[in-house]
Structure 1
Amino acid sequence: MAQEAADAKINDLSTELKLLRKGLGIQAKTLPGVVGERLREVCGVHEEDNPGTVRGKVVDTLRRLIERLPESQRETARIVLGFGTGANERYTQRLELLGSGADRNVRTMQRRADDVIYLIAEAAYGAPPPFEGASIISQDGPWHTSALAVRLNLTGAAAEVFETRKVVSHVAGLAEIEHAISLARPASTTGQPDLSGLGIDVVAGGEVHSVRMVSSTRVAFSLRPPRPLDAGDQHEFFFRIRLDELPAPFYCCTPEFSCERFDLNIRFDRREPPLRVWRIDGDFSKDAEDPLPARKPLFLDNAGEVHTGFHDLRPARSYGVGWQPAS
């Protein structure tokens, strides 16, 4: 009986998700109004939640459930539900994206779409609800990061950072996202910081302003989206930071608010490759640069690069890569 009840819940949620994927999927303006009873239960949606909150909970929950799927199914799930697709691509158009090579039979694509919907529903009842007490994604802050991708290029002591950050607003009218980086040495001993060796450029998604020192070695700045974000809105920034010198032989994300996913790719200087490289996974910030703790080793590929990723980052903990320089 218990198994029958569980199967019934999964089937009910599958049916609701099939309705949700129609049209523009998660990008539809009508999304908050078509969220069914099972999906509201899984996402922790309450009667008093406004449409923006409903959208935010549904989008964040589905994104997290997709990450629980086998890697081979994740991209299909994203396309089916409308993640990362064109703003006006309807379900039938997205379905065509599932075809590969000569395999473009409509029935085959529809079957793949149905299979992945069932897997999402199955995952939903195999894990605690993301928005209940056990969740590490806190709604306390004004926003959280849903995805962070960093490419770090090292040339001698100099570094160039390319960062793509997707944030989800928890409040109405979010107009600024605070950000900060650490420098190699104090930027000022007189109280008048010299930031000439620091370049911060937004390539897409908004503008940088209010660059300021918050300590002798830490620079803060604000990212301003093109328009204020409502609760549940997601926005992506892409910016570049140029440093004359890294603060230490490691690169970490130490989030102030929760972060769902962090992907880091480092390209080392081929002339001076590091002696060894390791993964930093949830360390206290003061321990991040300590080379003594036992950590998972990482290895450079033929291009002199190393790549690693993290999920469900906790605030005030550090995640990234450390290395022992050649000299």
Structure 2
Amino acid sequence: MIEKLPESQRETARIVLGFGTAANERYTRRLELLGSGADRNVRTMQRRADDVIYLIAEAAYGVPAPFGGWSAAGADGPWHTSALAVRLTLTGAAAEVFETREVVSHVAGLTDIEHAISLARPASTTGRADLSGLGIDVVAGGEVHSVRMVSSSRVAFSLRPPRPLDAGDQHEFFFRIRLAELPAPFYCCTPEFPCESFDLNIRFDRREPPQRVWRIDGDFSKDAGDPLPARKPLFLDASGEVRTGFRDLHPARSYGVGWQPAR
């Protein structure tokens, strides 16, 4: 289960669960050891311990299903995501997203991976939508084409690998999205097709850190931006970053992080 966690949390999990420590080492002592390396107190380490236990419980819940429950033979759609990693950096109102996505083809001759971004509020209420504040660039793994508005708040585009994918082929894209303004205080993955894993890292502007941060775990998409439901809190580290991960994401449900802005 530990190996299914984001890499940054595996060592914490090993120490919390007593792997690699003395057999008679008490739990509180292990937390002290964990805190000494990061210059944190036991209460802070307890919160981090709670986070990794929560994620391990999620991973354990999905164990009976092989490969996260999504096999090429049984999954719907022409492809599914085997691994998604997102790094979101916020600077003032602007946002920059770095996304690494590994997909698995279910069909022969797959040439285009359809992708979309919800802007959470209409980009334009009248006339042609202005996408000048949106930049999408593939850094590695193919090219972007056919960027278009499919609704008043949803931008779609296609990712094209260097060669067509056969059934069972895996391929990784690495691309960047730049937004002149992040339209809402949350970031989610709401997959159209199954997604085995999603790791999210958000670096907030240290000049205006959020008042609070929370985890969005399988919400209906219309509820993802609602700050009222009770959710698991998340905590910024000394660099102003927060990290969380998800496994076995279900289509049409939202997974990610929400926050209350500083003002």
Same fold (TM over 0.5): yes
Tell me which residue corresponds to 2:89. 153
Once the two structures are superposed, residues 124-167 of structure 1 have per-residue CA deviations (whole angstroms, 9 ceiling, x without a partner) of xx953527xx9356521100000000000001111000000000
Give 1:184 shift. 5.5
**Closer/same/farther in 2, CA of residues 274 and 130 from structure 1, 3 Å limit:** same
Q: Secondary structure at the match of 2:66?
A: coil
Corresponding residue for residue 69 of structure 2: 135
Matching of residues 1-16 of structure 1 within 5 Å:
none
Contact 2:146 2:158 in 1 (8 A): yes
Q: Is the Cα–Cα contact under 8 Å of residues 141 and 172 in structure 2 kept in the other structure? A: yes
- Check whether the contact 1:184–1:245 (CA below 8 A) recurs between aligned residues: no
Contact 2:69 2:248 in 1 (8 A): no
Matched-pair contact (CA < 8 Å) for 1:163–1:239: yes
Aligned partner of residue 293 in structure 1, secondary structure: coil
Q: Tell me if the contact between 1:136 and 1:314 (Cα under 8 Å) persists in the aligned partners.
A: no
Q: Deviation at 1:247?
A: 2.2
Quick one: distance in 1 between partners of 2:212 and 2:90?
Answer: 15
Contact 1:144 1:258 in 2 (8 A): yes
Which residue identity does 1:145 align to in structure 2?
T
- 2: CA distance, partners of 1:127 / 1:319: 19
Q: SS where residue 247 of structure 1 aligns?
A: coil
Q: CA-to-partner distance for each residue in 1:94-140, whole Å, 9 max, x for gaps?
A: xxxxxxxxxxxxxxxxxxxxxxxxxxxxxxxx953527xx9356521
Partner of 1:245: 181
Aligned residues: 208
- Amino acid of the residue matched to residue 217 of structure 1? S
Question: Which residue of structure 1 lines up, in the alignment, with residue 4 of structure 2?
Answer: 67
Unaligned regions of 5+ residues in structure 1, if any?
Answer: 1-63, 73-125
Q: 1:127 to 1:184 in 2, by over 3 A?
A: closer
CA contact (8 A) 1:184 1:246 kept: no
Q: What amino acid does structure 1 have at the position aligned with 2:190?
A: T
In the alignment, what sits opposite 1:199? 135
Q: Distance in 2 between matches of 1:295 and 1:188?
A: 32
Per the alignment, do residues 270 and 224 of structure 1 end up closer, same or farther by CA in structure 2, a change over 3 Å counting?
A: same
Encode CA deviations 1:3-49: one digit per residue, 9 max, x unaligned: xxxxxxxxxxxxxxxxxxxxxxxxxxxxxxxxxxxxxxxxxxxxxxx
Residue type of the alignment partner of 1:293:
P
Corresponding residue of 2:145 = 209
User: CA deviation digits over 1:270-301, x for unaligned, max 9?
Assistant: 01000000001111111111111111110000
Once the 2 structures are TM-superposed, how far is the Cα of residue 194 of structure 1 from its aligned partner? 1.2
1:170/1:232 contact within 8 Å kept:
yes
TM value normalised by structure 2: 0.74
Which AA in structure 2 matches 1:176? Answer: D
Name the SS of the counterpart of 1:215 in structure 2.
coil
Whose relative contact order is higher, 1 or 2, with alpha carbons under 8 Å and at least 6 apart?
2
Q: Tell me how far apart the structure 1 counterparts of residues 70 and 139 of structure 2 sit (CA, whole Å).
A: 31
Q: Using the aligned pairs only, state the percent identity.
A: 84
Indicate the structure (1 or 2) with the bigger Cα radius of gyration. Answer: 1
Which whole-Å CA distance do the structure 2 matches of 1:163 and 1:244 have between them? 17
Residues in 2 aligned to 1:300 and 1:190: alpha-carbon distance in whole angstroms? 39
User: Quick one: structure 1 residues 230 and 257, their matched pair in 2 at CA, closer, same or farther if it must change by over 3 Å?
Assistant: same
Distance 1:187 1:129, change over 3 A: closer
TM-score calculated relative to the size of structure 1 = 0.60
Which of the numbers 171, 187, 209 marks the counterpart of 1:235?
Answer: 171
Alignment of 1:265 with 2:201, yes or no, is: yes
More strand by share: 2
Which residue identity lines up with residue 135 of structure 1 in the other structure? G
How far 1:183 sits from its partner (Å)? Answer: 2.1
Aligned to 2:58: none
Deviation at 1:321, TM superposition (A): 0.3
Contact 1:183 1:245 in 2 (8 A): no
Contact map agreement 2:85 2:99 (CA 8 A) in 1: yes
1:254 matched residue in structure 2: 190
Paired with 1:270 and 1:172, the residues of 2 have a C-alpha distance of 47
**Structure 2 regions of 5+ residues with no counterpart?**
12-61
Secondary structure at 1:286 match in 2: helix
Identify the structure with the greater helix proportion. 1
CA distance in 2 between partners of 1:246 and 1:280 (Å):
17
* Paired residues for 1:32-47 under 5 Å: none
